[in-house]
Structure 1
């Protein structure tokens, strides 16, 4: 082993200068690696809870959402020592703050673009920010308490170690009473035992006090000549332990997890320095150089690892630049309507998500990359907000027009001259349909006011007419009698014959004519029987639905039930929008899944089937809508 170490010494031939230069380079690399290990060990010596940080994975926090960052912070604070998570917490806070500031900038831009009140000030409440701050403040409180307790301990431990060094110095300098070699060894071993138990000391004192301690410990061994056999035995034992550490360090060079290998090497350095005594003077430099050489190799492996990580960061930077260009391209597209802008907004949201999940970029490029991204998003929002500002002005004008129609309808709703007033009310309804959208906040309210006024008028009109129409009363009596007969009707089991029989029942029912307004509940009873009969037929879902719908439609038209027709029209319009939005969402989801999956994916197939079902439903609802519009 020692001969192998000596092979690394400079050769006294023509390559001496080259070898010396190489040795100088090795010395620089070794010194850098050793200083880094010493500094890390000094930090962990000050607070041993810091060691646990290596067992907690450092995630790419930039890729997490604000919700995920808050959950991760909450989990770390609840389950780990405060100093073990300090680096993780600061990275989480940095990522959350960036994303939160981005959100606030976006909301402020929207406010400035759309606000018309010069006295209004921007405010935006984000509940998740309060939760994040609360968890972070809990962490800071724990950290402060930990620091306070730690500082009290560090000072006392430092004084103990200083006193132990003084004891060792007095023993080496012979200032104490004459002791036998055996007693001196006992005293040294006692000092070493108390040294190991002395506890943490400030990191800035770590290397100084350890070097001082080992200096006097080595002096003790060098000055003990009287009992060479005992000293050499101790030297031999220490050498064996250090050679074992060198072998363990060699095996770490084969560790696939480079960072894990470096951390374990760091532990070996701590054991070498803190737990094993000196070796014979002739061997000290040899074994230390062998250990240092392995440290250099591990350092080079770690530098290569960092180099690959740097390459990934450069690739991420290229990807993020491409995403920013895509955002700029979307911003420059000409979009003429609301639906188009909603699609653009979804595109930008997808690109934002992609940007955040791309991963880290080189540290020196972080600010520039982030600023370019924010500028691109801000430009898009400015263009979008300008469009909606114009829309808002147009919608305000529409609101004014509809408000005038509401006032007219309210003025006429109690009029008794139905013959003269009804055409006017219908003209008001036609004018209402020609007016475009109003602001979303007023939409439901203005519609309800208008609908209530119209319903009030037409309900009164129908009520008056029904009380005077004996033919309608007779129609009700006929339908009531026929309904009792229909309850006894049973299907024969022949599909065509049964379908024809049901259609005949419908035609017979229609032939009885309109019933009084206050007795239209009989139509519902008839429809309930029809629904039960249609359910028993082996018709498709669409055919069944359309036959039910046509039957109801005929009844509403026959009874001049404009209120029911309008209510159904509003309901179907909402269903069409609902199904269209569901299809859009499913298609958007499947695009995202497809881009991240390879090969056949059963989940994608299931989503595709769901899209087809929704498209069939949409056809049916649009067919119903078309029939209503034809009236």
Structure 2
């Protein structure tokens, strides 16, 4: 495109347009069209220019909460037309995420609710907040458009009137060249200040204006001195624009430089008239070449961005592949699915954080991601649907146990009823989970029935019988006798004597529940006697332990036995952990220093002591199991 064409000057000097030379640098028409369209848009509404100063975030990587906050910030602080592109990007990103989110919730609802007639509803307050902000933005934009449209139409009418005035001036025969020149400059000044016009009329109106300016310059041939002065002034102004454009080539912010170049094109077209034919092609070609260089620099940035987007596409495809793989794994436990869901959430977050992909595959990639997630959720929902059916079966079983417990809770035949109640409790533990909404209520009902029975049973047990009182008195007297007992020093004889005392103690029978402290006193005396025997630590400990277990068994204290077993298992875990830690610590000491290292020897002795303790605890556990 030549300077003459760009200025809409055809034969302004009365000569045929010179054909472009082969060595003139041409700039892509699409780039010029882009610049013209952008200038037409910004001419219509000056506030649009401010959009370049507002950062455009990668909205695809933001969460719905972050998108809502960003929309609110923009709407509250920026002009409506300056954030048009920003708002559209936010709206699309939020919409994609929201619909994906709702699809998942709907699939979960369908999987968990088999009953007919149930409609899916999901209350999501964030969506309401987002819609309120977006609707506020649309209302502000509509109000702005209405006011802008009135101004645009008025400005258009003003500019048409100026063109008509220019046309009449040129066609008049009674005006001198000097007066005409002054009046044209006045029309030019008023034209510059006439304001914005509708963008769809921008090019037509400007072409019409330039056409009549060209006619004026044709007439100006009659006053060559004035014409040449004006053309020279235009040339100087365009040379200044070229100088500014050259400086922009050194700007590190390429996108900012390109936007400023667009403004220079706007000034070139709208505010400066034509130049002399001799310089016209050269100066336009120079400006075009600078524009081409700037365009090439911007294309270089775009190329880097496209490479990054291609890399992101590979990352997102890999994430999709991993999600697809998750959706085919066979998981048969709730804990396993919880781990899968955590993996899924991590992959989902990674997908959104990865960034943009090439525009031509954006929709395809998003569809692949949604399909992969949908397949995973379908696989998960099948499992939980089966779980739900199983939980309803468990509910039926537990309700039956509740009814049994209620029927037995008033029974006074403790000998016959207690084993049945304990079996009911054991059966309850084996059944498994019920639907959450019934879990607390059914457990409360069951616990109240069981507690009612066992409270009555314990109350009856705690009541002192004459036999138990007599047994207490005998044990009390026997303790007094034991105070005078001394060991002979003969190991075998003393051991038999202690065993005989234990056997005698057992013959006295059970004591009242609230007087069982006497058993502890007897155990203390035994402990003191065992300490004096020349038994090994292990044998002494096992004899004490066996005596305690027999007392629990004789008193039918099942709860105490269970607590003892729990305690021993805990001790086994602690000792095993300590052994593992000590052995692991040794691994960090170099082999060359292990041989004579006193610290190592002490640790190894400590390990052996722990192993002996572990063996003892395991024997105790086995003894409880054998009861």
Using the size of structure 1 for normalisation, the TM-score is: 0.69
- Residues 457, 246 of structure 1: alpha-carbon distance in 2 compared, 3 angstrom cutoff: same
In the alignment, the residues of structure 1 paired with residue 147 and residue 464 of structure 2 have an alpha-carbon distance, to the nearest angstrom, of 94
> Gaps (5+ residues) in structure 2?
1-19, 473-510, 516-550, 571-616
| Larger gyration radius, structure 1 or structure 2 | 2
In the alignment, the residues of structure 2 paired with residue 390 and residue 435 of structure 1 have an alpha-carbon distance, to the nearest angstrom, of 16
How far the C-alpha of 1:562 sits from its partner, in A, is: 6.0
- Residues 515, 283 of structure 1: alpha-carbon distance in 2 compared, 3 angstrom cutoff: farther
CA deviation digits over 1:397-429, x for unaligned, max 9? 222111111112222223344444333322222
Partner of 2:396: 400
In the alignment, the residues of structure 2 paired with residue 131 and residue 281 of structure 1 have an alpha-carbon distance, to the nearest angstrom, of 61
1:332 corresponds to which of 328, 335, 340: 328
- Paired residues of 2:67 and 2:90 also in contact (CA < 8 A): yes
In the alignment, the residues of structure 2 paired with residue 78 and residue 31 of structure 1 have an alpha-carbon distance, to the nearest angstrom, of 39
How far the C-alpha of 1:444 sits from its partner, in A, is: 2.0
Please show how residues 42-53 of structure 1 align to structure 2 within 5 Å.
42-53=40-51
CA deviation digits over 1:229-267, x for unaligned, max 9? 444443333322211110110111222222111100001
Please show how residues 85-484 of structure 1 align to structure 2 within 5 Å.
85-175=83-173, 177-179=174-176, 181=178, 183-224=179-220, 228-466=224-462, 468=464
- Residues 380, 286 of structure 1: alpha-carbon distance in 2 compared, 3 angstrom cutoff: same
- Paired residues of 2:220 and 2:226 also in contact (CA < 8 A): no
Secondary structure at the residue paired with 2:327?
helix
How far the C-alpha of 1:142 sits from its partner, in A, is: 1.3
In the alignment, the residues of structure 2 paired with residue 21 and residue 263 of structure 1 have an alpha-carbon distance, to the nearest angstrom, of 30
| 216-225 or 280-289, larger mean C-alpha shift | 216-225
- Paired residues of 2:464 and 2:512 also in contact (CA < 8 A): no
How far the C-alpha of 1:22 sits from its partner, in A, is: 6.2
Secondary structure at the residue paired with 2:272?
coil
Please show how residues 561-576 of structure 1 align to structure 2 within 5 Å.
none
- Residues 93, 559 of structure 1: alpha-carbon distance in 2 compared, 3 angstrom cutoff: farther
- Paired residues of 1:469 and 1:516 also in contact (CA < 8 A): no
- Residues 22, 358 of structure 1: alpha-carbon distance in 2 compared, 3 angstrom cutoff: farther
How far the C-alpha of 1:202 sits from its partner, in A, is: 0.8
- Residues 235, 516 of structure 1: alpha-carbon distance in 2 compared, 3 angstrom cutoff: farther
> Gaps (5+ residues) in structure 1?
1-18, 476-512, 518-553, 574-622
- Paired residues of 1:58 and 1:88 also in contact (CA < 8 A): yes
In the alignment, the residues of structure 2 paired with residue 469 and residue 230 of structure 1 have an alpha-carbon distance, to the nearest angstrom, of 136
- Residues 375, 228 of structure 1: alpha-carbon distance in 2 compared, 3 angstrom cutoff: same
In the alignment, the residues of structure 1 paired with residue 171 and residue 200 of structure 2 have an alpha-carbon distance, to the nearest angstrom, of 27
How far the C-alpha of 1:154 sits from its partner, in A, is: 1.0
In the alignment, the residues of structure 2 paired with residue 244 and residue 469 of structure 1 have an alpha-carbon distance, to the nearest angstrom, of 118
- Paired residues of 1:61 and 1:91 also in contact (CA < 8 A): yes
| 30-39 or 416-425, larger mean C-alpha shift | 416-425
In the alignment, the residues of structure 1 paired with residue 115 and residue 431 of structure 2 have an alpha-carbon distance, to the nearest angstrom, of 27
- Paired residues of 1:405 and 1:432 also in contact (CA < 8 A): yes
CA RMSD of aligned residues (A): 3.6
In the alignment, the residues of structure 1 paired with residue 182 and residue 145 of structure 2 have an alpha-carbon distance, to the nearest angstrom, of 37
- Residues 560, 76 of structure 1: alpha-carbon distance in 2 compared, 3 angstrom cutoff: farther
In the alignment, the residues of structure 1 paired with residue 161 and residue 446 of structure 2 have an alpha-carbon distance, to the nearest angstrom, of 92
How far the C-alpha of 1:373 sits from its partner, in A, is: 1.2
CA deviation digits over 1:271-322, x for unaligned, max 9? 2222233333432332222212211221222222222222222222221111
- Residues 458, 562 of structure 1: alpha-carbon distance in 2 compared, 3 angstrom cutoff: farther
Secondary structure at the residue paired with 1:224?
helix
- Paired residues of 1:83 and 1:143 also in contact (CA < 8 A): yes
How far the C-alpha of 1:558 sits from its partner, in A, is: 10
Partner of 2:544: none
In the alignment, the residues of structure 1 paired with residue 374 and residue 132 of structure 2 have an alpha-carbon distance, to the nearest angstrom, of 30
Partner of 1:547: none
In the alignment, the residues of structure 2 paired with residue 287 and residue 104 of structure 1 have an alpha-carbon distance, to the nearest angstrom, of 59
- Residues 197, 412 of structure 1: alpha-carbon distance in 2 compared, 3 angstrom cutoff: same
How far the C-alpha of 1:188 sits from its partner, in A, is: 2.3
CA deviation digits over 1:404-459, x for unaligned, max 9? 11112222223344444333322222222222222222222221221222223333
Please show how residues 77-88 of structure 1 align to structure 2 within 5 Å.
77-88=75-86
How far the C-alpha of 1:325 sits from its partner, in A, is: 0.9
CA deviation digits over 1:557-593, x for unaligned, max 9? 9997969x99xx9xxx9xxxxxxxxxxxxxxxxxxxx
In the alignment, the residues of structure 2 paired with residue 341 and residue 447 of structure 1 have an alpha-carbon distance, to the nearest angstrom, of 26
| 458-467 or 149-158, larger mean C-alpha shift | 458-467
Whose relative contact order is higher, 1 or 2, with alpha carbons under 8 Å and at least 6 apart?
2
How far the C-alpha of 1:357 sits from its partner, in A, is: 1.6
In the alignment, the residues of structure 2 paired with residue 164 and residue 469 of structure 1 have an alpha-carbon distance, to the nearest angstrom, of 122
